[in-house]
Structure 1
């Protein structure tokens, strides 16, 4: 699929969309306190997988990350997305489209969920909706999910949503503990999975 190149900053990309139970949206000013509360609750579950979760951030540090996420979204260089419960407004977790290659229309979905919201299908619901957003709105040709091979919960989200397991990259990345980790690569590709 060949399309005329348009600078991504000119693309009319909505800042918010919904799934059955969630509002999925770009970060906004003053989101940091909600994000920080979820990180504090979930730090022990996040620490093995997320380099940024080795220490509990301050609320101000979480606000800085949220504001940077907003700027990157507007620049179209990275698309951090926050997951909020439609009824309560509670911050459920974070996801987004990262490592974007606009010319190839390739995106990587990353995600984490707060501990008290885990196991309720929220992340599968969110990733499914973000995948559809990437396909239908952003005209994605390739969508990847990458995770540490030992992160079974993360891998199950990709498997449930029909992402094809393409590779096990051995000793591909340094883990938060300094050891070399294997990375699983899952993907959906236009013409094959959608």
Structure 2
């Protein structure tokens, strides 16, 4: 797996991965509101361009997960909302539905956590996921994150239902 910052020109490949993952991502609209938008190559390219600029400016750290053999984008993740005084980062991730269950996302997310600890001297990373998102919960637990708690009825889904949110963390 190649894990790198998105670059201008990556939009079409990211768009393909997004379309593949969209039906699963839309199951958790309270956690992933951007997935409710209609994807396009242009919005994917804009994400790549702004993601590269934000990475260089140390404001946000998006990453593409790319299969070494085929070169396809298998997913996306990032170290978001840096709080440099600690430092702490929110770890986010998603991947192609067609590739779930192969360990690719656990590998990629674990690499992001290690990157935060080694390159940014992070003291803490945290992941925030919907209480019903079993796949994300398994990834968090596989890479050694600890459940800190469940925020009950903390978000409202697109259907108006109240959703619980799990907070996972890993310390340096």
TM-score (norm 1): 0.83
Greater length-normalized contact order (CA 8 Å, ≥ 6 residues apart) = 2
CA distance in 2, matches of 1:164, 1:95: 19
Query: How many Å separate the matches in 2 of 1:27 and 1:89?
Result: 14
The C-alpha deviation readout for 1:51-108, integer Å capped at 9, x for no partner, is 1111431111111111111111111111000000112111000001011101111011
Paired with 1:78 and 1:174, the residues of 2 have a C-alpha distance of: 25
Which one has a bigger Cα radius of gyration?
1
> Secondary structure of 2:89's match?
strand
Q: Hey, what's the Cα distance between the residues in 2 that align with 1:53 and 1:102?
A: 28
Runs of 4+ that moved beyond 3 A: none
Distance of 2:161 and 2:48 partners within structure 1: 29
Match of 2:104 in 1: 122
Q: Quote the Cα distance in structure 1 between the aligned partners of 2:50 and 2:158.
A: 23
Aligned length: 169
* RMSD between aligned residues: 1.2
Structure 2 residue 25 is the aligned partner of structure 1 residue 46 = yes
TM-score (norm 2): 0.94
Q: Secondary structure at the match of 1:147?
A: strand
Shift of 1:174: 2.5
CA deviations on 1:164-186 (whole Å, 9 max, x unpaired) are: 11010112222233332111011
Is the Cα contact below 8 Å between 1:81 and 1:96 reproduced in 2?
yes
Flag structure 2 segments of 5+ consecutive residues without an equivalent: none
Q: Are residues 1:174 and 2:153 paired? A: no
Match of 1:149 in 2: 131
Q: Does 1:94 align with 2:71?
A: no
